[in-house]
Structures are given as structure tokens and as C-alpha cells.
Amino acid sequence: MRVVPLEDVAPVDLPGGSWSRVILTGDRVGSTTAMGFSSFAPGTTTAMLSHATEELAYVLTGRGELRLPDAVVPIAAGSAMYVPAGVWHAVVNTSDEPVTMVFAFAHPDYPPTDRRPAPPVRDLP
């Protein structure tokens, strides 16, 4: 049994004042899964990501969208998300407050991830 306060884990800085922390990891607590917390500042668009494992996430605050190569999926506080392994996605905060979310991976740490620039809004259907 182990409790890890959020502030005990150094943030990974993301563009625009956003950040993420992988709080529970195999190295830190001996788990085979990882859990973290992210805060995306208003106006943030992340790079497109494709993880080697599936991702589960729950939005705590804010609203925005999950941008896929061929679709835009609205997200908001109270939304749970399932992103299968290998699916390209970006988080976009369209609200005037941070989008905060808890995320988990079936991997003992942040999984191997490919990145590419997010498509401009005009390129989405």
C-alpha cells in the first residue's frame, strides 16, 4: 500500500502552461499499470499522440475535444474516455478554464508513444 501526493511528483511541462504528472508507476509503487493527472490550459492543443497501450481517462474540469485524424469528439467534465492502443489523438481545450483529467495506462509507466503535430482545425472534416 502506498499513497503518493500529486505534489510529490515533478510535472512534465507541456506547451502553453499545461502540464502532466505520471503519479503511480511501476518504479514508484511496484504497479503494472500507470496513473497520472494532466492540466491543459485554455487554448491548448496537444501534439497528436499514439500510445503503444490503451488509455483510459476521466475529465474532472473544463470542456474541449479529442481530435482524431478523421473526427472531433467533444469532452467535458464528467466524461470518461477510452482510447485504444495505436489511435492518434490530441486534446484541445476549448473552454476558459483548465481541462483537468486523470489518465491510466496498462503499462508500468507512461507507455511508448509516437508524436506528430496536431492537424490545423481547417484540415478536419
116: in domain = no
DSSP of 78-110: T-EEEE-TT--BEEEE-SSS-EEEEEEESSSSS
Domain that holds residue 19: 6-110
Helix (H, G, I), strand (E, B) or coil at 70: coil
Whether 98 shows a pLDDT value over 80: the answer reads yes
| Residues 19/39, Cβ–Cβ less than 8 Å | yes
52: in domain = yes
1: in domain = no
Containing 28, the helix (H) or strand (E) segment is: helix 26-29
pLDDT confidence tier of residue 119, bands split at 50, 70 and 90: low
Nearest to 40 by CA among 59, 22, 19: 19
- The Cα diameter of the chain in Å comes to 48
Q: Residue 84: which CATH number?
A: 2.60.120.10
Whether 123 shows a pLDDT value over 80: the answer reads no
40: in domain = yes
Whether 118 shows a pLDDT value over 90: the answer reads no
**What distance in Å separates the CA atoms of residue 90 and residue 75, rounded to the nearest whole number?**
12
Res 121: pLDDT: 57
Across 58-62, average pLDDT = 98
Res 76: pLDDT: 98
Across 88-95, average pLDDT = 95
Work out whether strand 113-116 and strand 99-105 pair parallel, antiparallel, or are unpaired: unpaired
What single-letter amino acid sits at 117? P
28: in domain = yes
124: in domain = no
**For the chain, how many structural domains are there in total?**
1
Res 15: pLDDT: 86
Res 120: pLDDT: 63
123: in domain = no
118: in domain = no
Res 5: pLDDT: 97
Lowest average pLDDT, out of 28-32, 109-113, 115-119, goes to 115-119
Question: pTM for the complete prediction?
Answer: 0.91
